[in-house]
Amino acid sequence: MTDRVLIIGGTGRIGGSVARDIASHTPAEITIAGRSRAAESSARVEEDVASSVIAKKMRSLALDISNKKELREAIASHNLVVHCAGPFRYRDARVLEACIELGVNYIDVSDDSSFVRLALAQKKAAEAAGVTAIVSTGVFPGISNSMALQGVEQLDSADSIQISYVVSGSGGAGLTVMRTTFLELQHPFQAWIEGRWQEVQPYSQREIVEFPAPYHRAAVYWFNTVEAYTLPLLGVKTVTTKFGSVPDFYNYLTWMVARLPSKWLQNPNTIEFLSRASYSMTEVSDRFTGIGIAMTLEVSGEKNSQPARYVSTMVHENTAIAAGAGTGSVAEVLLSGEVKKPGVWPVELAMPTPLFQRTMQQRGIEIESSEF
């Protein structure tokens, strides 16, 4: 039987990228679900697919996930659900819960730690139902998590993980990602530092980090990511996650926004205004900077009873395509049966490193690494 994949939020830029990756690397039939079947974004997803053969594997579906009956009917006719309908700050676990009830495997691109907590709380229910659910796939979180696992595995013991990200302009993503960025500036967040949770101010402690070309030296700041919440499960004492934008002008703007009165940032109208204004600006700057991403990851610890560091880097010309590759690779190994692990897992605890390396190579995503 042909596998059938339901992509909720598939009409968005990230969802569309996930759809193209799954269609390119698996024989599955794909349902692109959005609020309107006739939405322009749905048409764009199909038009952007290079091969007409791939396009024929896709169909569109109007779906309101707030309608429990409608949601269950859509899930029941598929054997894998990919949840891409953010911002996840505003989502509950209803899609995952429906998948567990119906015995359907689940993936999401969640980038909010409060949502991830809700999802991980369903672990026992998923185990009992034989459902494998993997959260926070994509590029960051997603590929970054698996890079961290790979680094930890190279050392005899690991004490700290530092991940730095830099994105050009919009990164090829849509308004939802802009909204998520500003939502994360609303309040301080908890970071795992020296073996305990400590409060950190978002977009603070500017640091210059060396990235692969064409980024080279770029500025990054403390930023709340899902990795900061899940990577401590690997047994390290400190997890540092820092993010920055190119051009540097955007960093200064974001730094200033992070210091607005909290009541302003917690106003949905303010978030919407900032998101739309920023997106309009990046539509111009993207023409000059591109829409790529680079990551530099350093794991520190010991090897052969000596201090050791493992450093890995990744660069891609299109952030949205990289996110699609991260999620699509997880979908591929679930559909093939290479990963079957009932429960709810962050991607680094579900995707073995050999499978991660193979699927990245298949997609042309190069991860360079070295030990010191």
Which pLDDT score, from 0 to 100, does residue 49 have? 47
Which pLDDT score, from 0 to 100, does residue 54 have? 64
346 and 230 in contact (C-beta within 8 Å)? Answer: yes
**Spans in the chain with pLDDT lower than 70:** 36-55
Fold adopted by 4-138+321-366: Rossmann fold (3.40.50)
Fold adopted by 140-316: Dihydrodipicolinate Reductase; domain 2 (3.30.360)
Which pLDDT score, from 0 to 100, does residue 38 have? 42
Which pLDDT score, from 0 to 100, does residue 155 have? 97
Which pLDDT score, from 0 to 100, does residue 53 have? 56
| Residue-range domain boundaries for the chain | 4-138+321-366, 140-316
Q: What is the pLDDT of residues 188-230, one digit of tens each?
A: 999 999 999 999 999 999 999 999 999 999 999 999 999 999 9
Tokens for 152, please give them: 């930890």
Which pLDDT score, from 0 to 100, does residue 51 have? 53
pTM (two decimals): 0.93
Tokens for 71, please give them: 């949601």
Which pLDDT score, from 0 to 100, does residue 37 have? 55
